[in-house]
Structure formats: C-alpha cells, structure tokens
Amino acid sequence: MSERQHFPRPLVIIGLLSWLLLAVACRGPAVYPTPTTVQMSPSPTVPALPPATAVVPSPTLTTLPSPTPTPLPPATATPTLAPTPPLTPTPVPPSPTPAPSGPRAAIITRLPTSEPVIALTFDCGADPGYAEEILDELARRGIRATFGMTGAWARTNPDLVARMLEEGHDLINHSDTHPSFTGHSTGSAPLAPAERLAELRGAEQAVAALSGSLETMRPFFRPPYGDYDEELLEQLPQSGYTIVVMWTVDSLGWRGIPPEDVVERVKRAVAPGAILLLHVGAQSTDAAALPVLIENLQQAGYRFVTIRDILG
C-alpha cells in the first residue's frame, strides 16, 4: 500500500482563511439602495388624561335570607251594633245672678260744703299729753271740736272723756289699741277680719261705759295711721261705721315741728270745709300752736264745726 501524505493541521487552517479573504476581495463593495425620506404629518396633541382614581373594591354583599311571612289570623266577623239612641241634652241651670255687694264705707277728706267752716280734729291715741290744755283753750273760745278716740285712751283717761262729752265735743272711733289695720305704716301683718272687728268693738265699748251708748261714735271711723284697704271699707258698715274720716291738712305737730311752722302749714293749705288733723300727745306741738292758729283762721273769716255738724 502506498503511504498517504499528511500535511500539518495549522497550515491547512491558514490556507482556508486566505482563500476566503481572496474571494471576498474579488466581489467588490456591496451596493445598498438610497432610503426614501417620508414626510410625516405632525402628531395630533393628545389631551392629558386625568389622574387615575383609585378603585375602591366594592363591598361584598351578603345575601340575607328572606323573612318568613307571619300568617294572619283568620278574619273575625264584625258584630252588628245596635243603633245608638239619640242623646238627650242635660239642661244646664242658669248661672246665679251674683248678689250685689254690700254697702261700702265712704271716705271723706273734706267736708261737703262751700261755707267758710273748718273742722278741728284731735287724735287721742297715746298719753293724755295736752288734752286738758286743749279743752281749756276750746272752752275759752266757745269752739267745739272732734276727737278721734281709742278705747285704751278712754279707759286710761275717763275724766277727760267725760269732760269732752259734757262740753259738746264729738268723738269718733279710732280703734281700741291703735294698730295699723293693713300693716302699711308699721310693716306688720294686716289684721284679720275678726281682729279688726275686735278693735272697733273695744273702742266703742270703752266710750259707751262713759256715755251710756254704743252709738256715741257711730258712724264715724278714723283708721290709725290713715291705713285702710278695700276689705276694711266693706267690713265697716257691718259694724255700723259708714264714713271714714281722713283729713285735708296734717299739721305735722306730732313730729315736733315748731308751733309757728304748724300755723304756717295750716294757713297755706286751708280751704272751706277743710278737716285739720291735730294730736293731743305730749310729743305734739299742736297745743302750743292752737291759740295762734285759731286767731289766724278766725281773722281769715273761718268758723269751726264738728264732723257731725255737717254730716249728721
């Protein structure tokens, strides 16, 4: 056998590479077509999308079982009602006619006259004071006056009360112990009806013990402190007192003002039919002012009367 000739492997590889390079060089440069330029229309403006809203997962609904209907009770037949008899209206009795209210005591602050007359009234509610001096002055001038008399004063000074009656002076009821019937001037509670009646009765009984009659002071009443109310005006006639004697001028001598001030105060306010309020007590200056007061009023043409002289 002939022996095959062998070439070294590296030489074979080099030879192959050289042949490939030679073949590529012989073909020349590759020719590529020129790219065509395409005119593109401008892209339309795409509006911006609003931000995405987070998607909240819907709650899972739980299917509730349908309630089982409650069966209705069987219908009951409606009973037949008997016809209602017509109502007979109950006659309403007529409202009773209210009874007319009783008589009401009258209030006077001035005598009902145009004559030049004046009533001197002296309240006797405390101590005897200047009662004797006042009676002497009135007697000397032949003047009669009116005295507001309390039961307590009459019991304490029976001789003076007896003299007043003998000399023709009038007495009017001024209560038994001189309380405020309404409490207005003293800040006390109003007197109950029974207490008011007791005050009236106590005074007239004390005077009746000296005069012999419960009618001596009726129908005139002067309330202590000048305090009265509607209830009292309705109660007084039931006890025989129909006239409440107030005053036109308060001399204020009970305050202890100078006697000359008493005179001037009265002179400024006096008028025909005037009722003067004076006091007999020891603290009053009315007794000291009385002589000059009488002279001034007489010079002005006035004369003096009692309450009963005008009102009967």
Which residue ranges make up each domain of the chain?
A: 106-310
Q: Which residues contact 182 (CB under 8 A, 6 or more apart)?
A: 190, 191, 227, 228, 229, 232
To the query of whether residue 279 is one of the catalytic residues in this protein, the response is yes
To the query of whether residue 136 is one of the catalytic residues in this protein, the response is no
Please tell me whether the peptide bond between 86 and the residue prior to it is cis, using omega within 30 degrees of 0. Answer: no
Which of 123, 170, 176, 286 is labelled catalytic?
Answer: 123
Q: Would you say the pTM of this structure is higher than 0.75?
A: no
Contact in structure between 190 and 141 (CB atoms under 8 Å): no
Domain 106-310 class in CATH:
alpha beta
Which of 174, 176, 279, 286 is labelled catalytic?
Answer: 279
For residues 244 and 146, give the distance between their C-alpha atoms in angstroms, rounded to a whole number.
14
Q: Which residues contact 177 (CB under 8 A, 6 or more apart)?
A: 150, 151, 152, 199, 202
* C-alpha pair distances (Å), 290 with each of 230, 253, 287, 293: 35, 10, 5, 5
pLDDT tens for the chain, 312 residues long, are 444 444 455 555 666 566 555 554 445 444 444 444 434 444 444 344 444 444 334 444 344 444 444 444 444 343 343 443 443 333 434 434 334 467 999 999 999 999 999 999 999 998 999 999 999 999 999 999 999 999 999 999 999 999 999 999 999 999 999 999 999 999 999 999 999 999 999 999 999 999 999 999 999 999 999 999 999 999 999 999 999 999 999 999 999 999 999 999 999 999 999 999 999 999 999 999 999 999 999 999 999 999 999 998
